[in-house]
C-alpha cells in the first residue's frame, strides 16, 4: 500500500481559531494513525491578509497542542519551499502552461460589474461568472488592457465533475452552470488559491486532503485543475465546521476563541479532549494527548454535520 501523505495548509492571516485547530487535529490524526507523513504548508498568497509573524505563531500553536510534522514550514524537506509566497515562480510556470494551451483568458470585469450582471449566486454567495470576457475579441482585449490590469480566468467545460468525499459522500457540480470560469490569477498578479493549492498538493505528493467543509464546493474546480495539470487528485475528507449556537460559523473574528485566548484557558490536553469529543473519538471530553488518540483514531466516528459549540463548553 502506498504511504499516506497528508497536510495541513493554513493561511497565516491571524491567530488560529478553534475551527482551524479542529481540521488540523483531524488531518494529523489521520496521518499518524496510518503512520504516514505529515506536511505543514503556509498558504500566505494574499499579501493583504497574511503576515510572517502569524505563520510563526501558527506553528507554535500547533506544537503547543502536541501536533508535529515531518516536512514543511520551519522543518524543510524534499518538496520545499513550504511557504506559498516563495513558490510564485512555480505557479507562474503552471499558469503559462495553461495559457499556451488556450485555456485561460483575461477578464476585465470589476467586482461591481460582475455583481451588476445579476448572474445567479452560488449557495456560498459567490457570483456564477457568466463568461462575459470569454467572448471578447482580440481587439477589445487590447483596448481594455490599456486601461486595466486583467484577472485571468480558466475556461471550464459544461460537464459534471463528481467525486466521493470520505465524510460528505457523493458530490457533483457542473462547472459551467454551477460555478463558471474561475480566476486563477488576480488582477494584482497574485495567483489564486485554487491554482496554488492544486499545484502544491500535486508537487508535494499529497494523497489525502483533510479540511473544513466550507471548501467542499471548491473541490470540483480543483479536480478539474488536477486533470489539466496531469495530476492524480488526492482523497478528500471535508470535516464539519464548528458553529456558534446561533448557527454562525466560528471564525477568526471571534477573538475569545482564538489560540491566544484558548491557551490561557486550557491545557493542551484539555483542549485536545474537547476537540476529540466533538470529533467523535471520545465519549466525553477528558484530557488526552493527540498522540494517545492516534492509535484508535477512526474516521467512521467523525460526524459529517457541522458541530454546534456551546459557550459553557469553553
Residue 247 CB neighbour total at 10 angstroms:
8
Binding status of residue 219 toward ligand GLU by CB under 6 A: no
Binding status of residue 268 toward ligand GLU by CB under 6 A: no
| Range in contact with ligand GLU (rule: CB under 6 A) among 7-15, 67-75, 239-247, 295-303 | 7-15
- By CB under 6 A, name the one of 6, 11, 216, 282 that touches ligand GLU: 11
- By CB under 6 A, name the one of 4, 6, 9, 87 that touches ligand GLU: 9
Structure-block grid coordinates of residue 242:
464548528
- Please, are residues 153 and 179 in contact by the beta-carbon 8 Å criterion? no
CA distance 182 to 140: 20
* DSSP element (H, E) containing 112: helix 111-116
Binding status of residue 215 toward ligand GLU by CB under 6 A: yes
Which residues in 208-246 are b (16+ Cβ under 10 Å) and which e?
bbbbbbeebbbbbbbbbbbeeeebebbbbbbbbbbbeee
Nearby residues of 110 by Cβ (< 8 Å), 6 or more positions away: none
CA distance 69 to 40: 6
**Which CB, 105 or 226, lies closer to ligand GLU?**
226
**Which CB, 10 or 220, lies closer to ligand GLU?**
10
**Which CB, 136 or 231, lies closer to ligand GLU?**
231
Count of residues near ligand GLU by CB under 6 A: 7
- Lay out the site mask for ligand GLU across 162-201 (x = CB under 6 A, - = otherwise): -----------------------------------x----
Binding site for ligand GLU (CB under 6 A): 9-11, 43, 197, 211, 215
Amino acid at each position: 500500500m502506498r504511504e499516506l501523505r497528508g497536510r495541513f495548509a493554513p493561511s497565516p492571516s491571524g491567530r488560529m481559531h478553534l475551527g482551524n485547530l479542529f481540521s488540523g487535529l483531524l488531518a494529523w490524526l489521520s496521518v499518524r494513525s496510518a503512520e504516514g507523513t505529515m506536511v505543514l504548508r503556509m498558504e500566505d498568497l494574499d499579501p493583504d491578509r497574511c503576515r510572517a509573524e502569524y505563520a510563526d505563531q501558527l506553528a507554535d500553536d500547533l506544537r503547543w497542542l502536541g501536533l508535529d510534522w515531518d516536512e514543511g514550514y520551519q522543518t524543510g524537506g524534499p518538496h520545499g519551499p513550504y511557504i506559498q509566497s516563495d513558490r510564485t515562480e512555480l505557479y507562474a510556470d503552471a499558469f503559462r502552461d495553461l495559457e499556451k494551451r488556450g485555456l485561460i483568458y483575461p477578464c476585465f470585469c470589476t467586482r461591481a460589474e460582475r455583481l451588476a450582471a445579476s448572474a445567479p449566486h452560488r449557495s456560498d454567495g459567490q457570483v456564477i461568472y457568466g463568461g462575459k470576457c470569454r467572448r471578447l475579441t482580440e481587439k477589445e482585449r487590447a483596448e481594455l488592457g490599456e486601461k486595466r490590469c486583467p484577472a485571468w480566468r480558466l475556461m471550464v467545460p459544461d460537464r459534471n465533475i463528481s467525486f466521493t468525499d470520505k465524510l460528505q459522500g457523493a458530490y457533483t457540480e457542473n462547472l459551467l452552470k454551477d460555478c463558471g470560469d474561475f480566476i486563477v490569477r488576480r488582477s494584482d498578479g497574485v495567483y489564486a488559491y485554487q491554482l496554488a493549492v492544486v499545484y502544491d498538493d500535486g508537487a508535494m505528493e499529497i494523497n489525502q486532503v483533510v479540511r473544513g467543509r466550507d471548501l467542499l464546493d471548491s473541490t470540483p474546480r480543483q479536480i478539474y485543475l488536477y486533470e489539466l495539470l496531469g495530476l492524480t487528485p488526492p482523497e478528500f475528507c471535508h470535516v464539519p465546521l464548528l458553529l456558534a449556537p446561533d448557527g454562525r460559523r466560528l471564525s477568526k473574528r471571534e477573538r475569545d476563541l482564538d489560540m491566544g485566548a484558548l491557551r490561557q484557558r486550557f491545557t493542551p490536553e484539555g483542549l485536545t479532549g474537547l476537540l476529540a469529543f466533538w470529533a467523535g473519538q471520545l465519549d466525553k471530553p477528558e484530557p488526552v494527548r493527540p498522540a494517545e488518540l492516534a492509535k484508535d483514531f477512526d474516521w467512521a466516528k467523525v460526524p459529517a454535520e457541522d458541530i454546534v459549540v456551546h459557550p459553557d463548553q469553553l
